[in-house]
Chain A
Amino acid sequence: MWTWFHKLSSPPHFYRLSASLIPWFGWLAAAFLIVSLYGGLVTAPADYQQGDGFRIIYVHVPAAMLSLFIYMFMATAAAIGVIWRMKLAHAVAVACAPIGASVTFLALATGSIWGKPMWGTWWAWDARLTSELILLFLYLGYMGLRSAIDDTNRADRASAILALVGVVNVPIVHYSVTWWNSLHQGSTLLKKGGPALPPDMALPLFGMIIGFMCFFGAVALTRVKREVLVREQNSKWVKDMVTSK
Protein backbone atom coordinates (compact mmCIF):
# COMPACT_ATOMS: atom_id res chain seq x y z
CA MET A 1 0.00 0.00 0.00
CA TRP A 2 2.71 2.48 0.99
CA THR A 3 5.01 1.65 -1.92
CA TRP A 4 2.07 2.32 -4.22
CA PHE A 5 1.42 5.59 -2.39
CA HIS A 6 5.05 6.64 -2.67
CA LYS A 7 5.28 5.70 -6.32
CA LEU A 8 2.14 7.71 -7.08
CA SER A 9 3.55 10.68 -5.20
CA SER A 10 6.70 10.73 -7.32
CA PRO A 11 6.23 13.62 -9.79
CA PRO A 12 7.85 12.03 -12.88
CA HIS A 13 5.83 8.87 -12.39
CA PHE A 14 2.63 10.83 -11.88
CA TYR A 15 3.36 13.00 -14.92
CA ARG A 16 3.72 9.96 -17.19
CA LEU A 17 0.67 8.29 -15.67
CA SER A 18 -1.43 11.44 -16.26
CA ALA A 19 -0.28 11.73 -19.85
CA SER A 20 -1.45 8.18 -20.56
CA LEU A 21 -4.75 8.53 -18.66
CA ILE A 22 -5.90 11.85 -20.13
CA PRO A 23 -6.96 10.51 -23.58
CA TRP A 24 -8.96 7.72 -21.94
CA PHE A 25 -10.87 10.13 -19.71
CA GLY A 26 -11.27 12.57 -22.58
CA TRP A 27 -12.76 10.16 -25.09
CA LEU A 28 -14.97 8.48 -22.46
CA ALA A 29 -16.26 11.92 -21.46
CA ALA A 30 -17.00 12.88 -25.07
CA ALA A 31 -18.79 9.57 -25.75
CA PHE A 32 -20.90 9.66 -22.58
CA LEU A 33 -21.78 13.34 -22.95
CA ILE A 34 -22.84 13.10 -26.60
CA VAL A 35 -24.92 9.93 -26.19
CA SER A 36 -26.53 11.06 -22.91
CA LEU A 37 -27.28 14.57 -24.14
CA TYR A 38 -29.04 13.02 -27.14
CA GLY A 39 -30.90 10.75 -24.71
CA GLY A 40 -31.88 13.65 -22.48
CA LEU A 41 -32.95 16.06 -25.20
CA VAL A 42 -34.52 13.61 -27.66
CA THR A 43 -35.42 10.14 -26.37
CA ALA A 44 -36.43 10.95 -22.76
CA PRO A 45 -40.15 11.78 -22.43
CA ALA A 46 -41.28 15.28 -21.43
CA ASP A 47 -42.29 15.85 -17.79
CA TYR A 48 -46.00 15.85 -16.86
CA GLN A 49 -45.73 19.30 -15.25
CA GLN A 50 -42.76 21.06 -16.80
CA GLY A 51 -42.97 19.66 -20.33
CA ASP A 52 -39.71 19.96 -22.25
CA GLY A 53 -38.50 22.62 -19.80
CA PHE A 54 -37.48 19.86 -17.40
CA ARG A 55 -34.68 18.81 -19.82
CA ILE A 56 -32.46 21.45 -18.20
CA ILE A 57 -32.00 18.77 -15.49
CA TYR A 58 -29.54 16.98 -17.82
CA VAL A 59 -27.00 19.80 -17.53
CA HIS A 60 -27.98 21.32 -14.17
CA VAL A 61 -27.81 18.25 -11.92
CA PRO A 62 -24.44 16.90 -13.23
CA ALA A 63 -22.90 20.38 -12.84
CA ALA A 64 -24.26 20.74 -9.31
CA MET A 65 -23.11 17.24 -8.26
CA LEU A 66 -19.67 17.84 -9.72
CA SER A 67 -19.38 21.19 -7.92
CA LEU A 68 -19.65 19.37 -4.57
CA PHE A 69 -17.60 16.34 -5.64
CA ILE A 70 -14.69 18.49 -6.85
CA TYR A 71 -14.71 20.47 -3.61
CA MET A 72 -14.43 17.30 -1.51
CA PHE A 73 -11.70 16.03 -3.84
CA MET A 74 -9.81 19.33 -3.59
CA ALA A 75 -10.09 19.51 0.20
CA THR A 76 -8.97 15.87 0.57
CA ALA A 77 -5.94 16.53 -1.64
CA ALA A 78 -5.14 19.66 0.38
CA ALA A 79 -5.42 17.67 3.66
CA ILE A 80 -3.08 14.97 2.31
CA GLY A 81 -0.71 17.73 1.23
CA VAL A 82 -0.68 19.25 4.71
CA ILE A 83 -0.48 16.01 6.72
CA TRP A 84 2.06 14.11 4.59
CA ARG A 85 3.86 17.23 3.31
CA MET A 86 3.21 15.93 -0.18
CA LYS A 87 3.72 18.62 -2.82
CA LEU A 88 1.99 16.59 -5.51
CA ALA A 89 -1.21 16.54 -3.44
CA HIS A 90 -1.13 20.34 -3.25
CA ALA A 91 -0.64 20.43 -7.03
CA VAL A 92 -3.80 18.30 -7.41
CA ALA A 93 -5.78 20.66 -5.16
CA VAL A 94 -4.59 23.66 -7.17
CA ALA A 95 -5.66 21.96 -10.41
CA CYS A 96 -9.19 21.32 -9.05
CA ALA A 97 -10.09 24.90 -8.10
CA PRO A 98 -10.73 26.53 -11.50
CA ILE A 99 -12.68 23.49 -12.75
CA GLY A 100 -14.76 23.49 -9.56
CA ALA A 101 -15.42 27.21 -9.86
CA SER A 102 -16.57 26.84 -13.47
CA VAL A 103 -19.00 23.99 -12.80
CA THR A 104 -20.36 25.79 -9.72
CA PHE A 105 -20.99 28.81 -11.93
CA LEU A 106 -22.66 26.46 -14.41
CA ALA A 107 -24.92 24.97 -11.73
CA LEU A 108 -25.96 28.45 -10.59
CA ALA A 109 -26.50 29.78 -14.11
CA THR A 110 -28.49 26.81 -15.44
CA GLY A 111 -30.47 26.75 -12.18
CA SER A 112 -31.30 30.40 -12.66
CA ILE A 113 -32.38 29.81 -16.27
CA TRP A 114 -34.55 26.90 -15.06
CA GLY A 115 -36.00 28.87 -12.15
CA LYS A 116 -37.34 31.73 -14.26
CA PRO A 117 -40.03 29.82 -16.19
CA MET A 118 -40.85 27.20 -13.50
CA TRP A 119 -40.62 28.99 -10.15
CA GLY A 120 -41.19 32.46 -11.56
CA THR A 121 -37.85 33.97 -10.50
CA TRP A 122 -34.21 33.99 -11.60
CA TRP A 123 -32.93 34.01 -8.06
CA ALA A 124 -34.11 33.56 -4.47
CA TRP A 125 -32.12 33.81 -1.25
CA ASP A 126 -33.15 30.36 -0.13
CA ALA A 127 -30.74 28.06 1.70
CA ARG A 128 -29.78 25.89 -1.29
CA LEU A 129 -29.11 28.71 -3.73
CA THR A 130 -27.26 30.82 -1.16
CA SER A 131 -25.00 27.97 0.03
CA GLU A 132 -24.15 27.08 -3.59
CA LEU A 133 -23.20 30.73 -4.16
CA ILE A 134 -20.95 30.51 -1.07
CA LEU A 135 -19.35 27.43 -2.67
CA LEU A 136 -18.47 29.56 -5.72
CA PHE A 137 -16.93 32.19 -3.44
CA LEU A 138 -14.89 29.49 -1.65
CA TYR A 139 -13.40 28.35 -4.96
CA LEU A 140 -12.71 31.95 -6.01
CA GLY A 141 -11.30 32.75 -2.56
CA TYR A 142 -9.00 29.73 -2.79
CA MET A 143 -7.65 30.89 -6.15
CA GLY A 144 -7.40 34.52 -5.03
CA LEU A 145 -5.52 33.58 -1.85
CA ARG A 146 -3.00 31.55 -3.85
CA SER A 147 -2.37 34.30 -6.35
CA ALA A 148 -1.78 36.75 -3.49
CA ILE A 149 1.07 34.65 -2.00
CA ASP A 150 4.28 34.38 -4.03
CA ASP A 151 5.99 31.61 -2.10
CA THR A 152 4.58 28.25 -3.27
CA ASN A 153 4.97 26.44 0.04
CA ARG A 154 3.24 29.20 1.99
CA ALA A 155 0.51 29.43 -0.65
CA ASP A 156 0.00 25.66 -0.38
CA ARG A 157 -0.43 25.79 3.38
CA ALA A 158 -2.65 28.89 3.53
CA SER A 159 -4.94 27.78 0.71
CA ALA A 160 -5.20 24.27 2.18
CA ILE A 161 -6.52 25.73 5.44
CA LEU A 162 -9.12 27.76 3.52
CA ALA A 163 -10.14 24.63 1.56
CA LEU A 164 -10.49 22.63 4.81
CA VAL A 165 -12.52 25.31 6.59
CA GLY A 166 -14.84 25.51 3.57
CA VAL A 167 -15.66 21.80 3.85
CA VAL A 168 -18.45 22.68 6.34
CA ASN A 169 -20.34 24.26 3.47
CA VAL A 170 -20.58 20.96 1.56
CA PRO A 171 -23.11 19.22 3.87
CA ILE A 172 -24.96 22.53 4.15
CA VAL A 173 -25.43 22.66 0.37
CA HIS A 174 -26.49 19.03 0.28
CA TYR A 175 -28.90 19.05 3.25
CA SER A 176 -30.18 22.63 2.87
CA VAL A 177 -33.33 21.38 1.17
CA THR A 178 -34.18 19.02 4.04
CA TRP A 179 -33.06 21.14 7.00
CA TRP A 180 -35.00 24.26 6.08
CA ASN A 181 -38.11 25.21 4.12
CA SER A 182 -36.59 26.12 0.78
CA LEU A 183 -37.83 27.08 -2.66
CA HIS A 184 -35.58 24.41 -4.17
CA GLN A 185 -37.09 20.92 -4.10
CA GLY A 186 -35.44 17.87 -2.52
CA SER A 187 -32.97 15.57 -4.23
CA THR A 188 -34.43 13.55 -7.11
CA LEU A 189 -31.61 11.02 -7.50
CA LEU A 190 -30.75 10.51 -3.82
CA LYS A 191 -34.35 10.31 -2.65
CA LYS A 192 -35.11 7.67 -0.03
CA GLY A 193 -36.46 4.59 -1.79
CA GLY A 194 -34.70 5.28 -5.07
CA PRO A 195 -34.57 7.98 -7.74
CA ALA A 196 -37.85 9.85 -8.20
CA LEU A 197 -37.88 9.55 -11.98
CA PRO A 198 -38.47 6.60 -14.33
CA PRO A 199 -35.55 4.78 -16.06
CA ASP A 200 -36.04 6.39 -19.47
CA MET A 201 -35.53 9.78 -17.78
CA ALA A 202 -32.89 8.59 -15.30
CA LEU A 203 -30.51 6.74 -17.62
CA PRO A 204 -29.44 9.77 -19.68
CA LEU A 205 -28.99 11.65 -16.40
CA PHE A 206 -26.64 8.97 -15.02
CA GLY A 207 -24.82 9.02 -18.37
CA MET A 208 -24.36 12.79 -18.14
CA ILE A 209 -23.01 12.46 -14.58
CA ILE A 210 -20.47 9.82 -15.69
CA GLY A 211 -19.54 12.05 -18.64
CA PHE A 212 -19.00 15.05 -16.35
CA MET A 213 -16.86 12.92 -14.00
CA CYS A 214 -14.64 11.76 -16.89
CA PHE A 215 -14.44 15.36 -18.13
CA PHE A 216 -13.23 16.38 -14.68
CA GLY A 217 -10.65 13.56 -14.73
CA ALA A 218 -9.25 14.65 -18.09
CA VAL A 219 -9.12 18.39 -17.38
CA ALA A 220 -7.83 17.97 -13.80
CA LEU A 221 -4.97 15.69 -14.90
CA THR A 222 -4.07 18.18 -17.65
CA ARG A 223 -3.94 20.98 -15.10
CA VAL A 224 -1.89 18.81 -12.70
CA LYS A 225 0.64 18.25 -15.52
CA ARG A 226 1.10 22.00 -15.84
CA GLU A 227 1.36 22.44 -12.07
CA VAL A 228 4.00 19.67 -11.83
CA LEU A 229 6.04 21.28 -14.63
CA VAL A 230 6.06 24.62 -12.80
CA ARG A 231 6.99 23.08 -9.47
CA GLU A 232 9.62 20.69 -10.85
CA GLN A 233 11.20 23.01 -13.40
CA ASN A 234 14.60 22.86 -11.71
CA SER A 235 14.69 19.08 -11.57
CA LYS A 236 16.64 16.95 -13.99
CA TRP A 237 13.73 14.86 -15.28
CA VAL A 238 11.76 17.90 -16.46
CA LYS A 239 14.81 19.36 -18.16
CA ASP A 240 15.62 16.04 -19.84
CA MET A 241 12.05 15.60 -20.99
CA VAL A 242 11.67 19.13 -22.37
CA THR A 243 15.05 19.32 -24.09
CA SER A 244 14.87 15.83 -25.59
CA LYS A 245 11.70 16.67 -27.54
Chain B
Amino acid sequence: MTFMEFLNMGGYAVYVWSSVGLTVAVLIINVITARRAVSQELERLRKRYANEANTGASQ
Protein backbone atom coordinates (compact mmCIF):
# COMPACT_ATOMS: atom_id res chain seq x y z
CA MET B 1 0.00 0.00 0.00
CA THR B 2 1.42 3.36 -0.99
CA PHE B 3 0.97 6.51 1.05
CA MET B 4 -1.30 8.01 -1.62
CA GLU B 5 -3.52 4.94 -1.48
CA PHE B 6 -3.68 5.31 2.27
CA LEU B 7 -4.73 8.96 1.97
CA ASN B 8 -7.27 8.09 -0.70
CA MET B 9 -9.08 5.53 1.55
CA GLY B 10 -10.46 3.63 -1.42
CA GLY B 11 -12.35 6.72 -2.59
CA TYR B 12 -13.86 7.43 0.83
CA ALA B 13 -11.14 9.96 1.77
CA VAL B 14 -13.57 12.85 2.37
CA TYR B 15 -15.75 10.82 4.70
CA VAL B 16 -13.04 8.95 6.63
CA TRP B 17 -10.68 11.90 7.10
CA SER B 18 -13.41 14.36 8.05
CA SER B 19 -14.67 11.90 10.70
CA VAL B 20 -11.19 11.32 12.09
CA GLY B 21 -10.35 15.04 11.98
CA LEU B 22 -13.57 15.99 13.75
CA THR B 23 -12.94 13.37 16.44
CA VAL B 24 -9.38 14.53 17.10
CA ALA B 25 -10.61 18.14 17.24
CA VAL B 26 -13.40 17.36 19.72
CA LEU B 27 -11.04 15.38 21.99
CA ILE B 28 -8.39 18.13 21.98
CA ILE B 29 -10.94 20.91 22.59
CA ASN B 30 -12.26 18.92 25.58
CA VAL B 31 -8.78 18.68 27.09
CA ILE B 32 -7.96 22.35 26.49
CA THR B 33 -11.24 23.75 27.86
CA ALA B 34 -11.13 21.53 30.96
CA ARG B 35 -7.54 22.48 31.78
CA ARG B 36 -8.22 26.15 31.15
CA ALA B 37 -11.27 26.03 33.44
CA VAL B 38 -9.05 24.80 36.31
CA SER B 39 -6.26 27.34 35.76
CA GLN B 40 -8.73 30.21 35.38
CA GLU B 41 -10.47 29.25 38.62
CA LEU B 42 -7.11 29.00 40.46
CA GLU B 43 -6.16 32.44 39.09
CA ARG B 44 -9.48 33.94 40.16
CA LEU B 45 -9.11 32.51 43.67
CA ARG B 46 -5.52 33.71 43.94
CA LYS B 47 -6.62 37.26 43.13
CA ARG B 48 -9.56 37.03 45.51
CA TYR B 49 -7.47 35.83 48.46
CA ALA B 50 -4.74 38.38 47.72
CA ASN B 51 -7.36 41.12 47.60
CA GLU B 52 -8.80 40.03 50.94
CA ALA B 53 -5.34 39.94 52.54
CA ASN B 54 -4.49 43.42 51.24
CA THR B 55 -7.66 45.13 52.41
CA GLY B 56 -7.34 43.30 55.70
CA ALA B 57 -10.99 42.38 55.56
CA SER B 58 -11.85 39.07 57.15
CA GLN B 59 -14.86 38.61 54.88
State if A and B touch, Cβ cutoff 8 Å: yes
CA distance A215 to B20 in the complex (A): 16
- A55 contacts the other chain (CB 8 A): yes
Q: Is the CB of A59 within 8 A of B23?
A: yes
Q: Is A28 an interface residue (CB 8 A)?
A: no
Q: Is the CB of B45 within 8 A of A242?
A: yes
Chain A, interface SS category: helix
Contact in complex: B9, A243 (CB < 8 Å): no
Cα distance A123–B41 when bound, in Å?
40
- Chain B interface residue bracket vs A: 20 to 34
A93 within 8 A of partner (CB): no
Distance of B25 from chain A, by nearest CB (Å)? 9
Q: In this assembly, does B31 line the interface, its C-beta being within 8 Å of a C-beta of chain A?
A: yes
With both beta carbons as reference points, the residue of chain A lying nearest to B16 in the complex is identified as A55
Main secondary structure of the interface of B (DSSP, over half): helix
**Measured between alpha carbons, how far is A99 from B26 in the docked complex, in Å?**
10
Interface string of B9-46 (1 = CB under 8 A from A): 11110011011101100110111011101100110011
Chain A residues with Cβ under 8 A from B12's Cβ?
A: 51-53, 55, 117
Q: Which residues of B contact A63 (CB under 8 A)?
A: 23
State the CA gap A222–B29 with chains docked (Å). Answer: 13
A242–B49 touching, CB < 8 Å: yes
Which of A77-85, A105-113, A149-157, A172-180 lines the interface with chain B? A105-113
Convert A88-126 into 0s and 1s, putting 1 for each residue whose CB lies closer than 8 angstroms to a CB of B: 000000000011001101100110011011000000000
Least CB separation from B35: chain A residue: A222
With A222-B35, A230-B41 given, name 16 new contacts (CB 8 A). Answer: A37-B20, A46-B10, A55-B9, A59-B19, A63-B23, A98-B33, A102-B29, A106-B23, A110-B19, A110-B22, A116-B15, A215-B30, A218-B31, A219-B31, A233-B45, A242-B46
B residues near A (Cβ < 8 Å) are 6, 9-12, 15-16, 18-20, 22-23, 26-27, 29-31, 33-35, 37-38, 41-42, 45-46, 48-50, 53
Interface, chain A (partner B; CB < 8 A):
26, 33, 37, 41-42, 46, 51-53, 55-56, 59-60, 63, 98-99, 102-103, 105-106, 109-110, 113-114, 116-117, 215, 218-219, 222-223, 225-226, 229-230, 233, 238-239, 242-243, 245
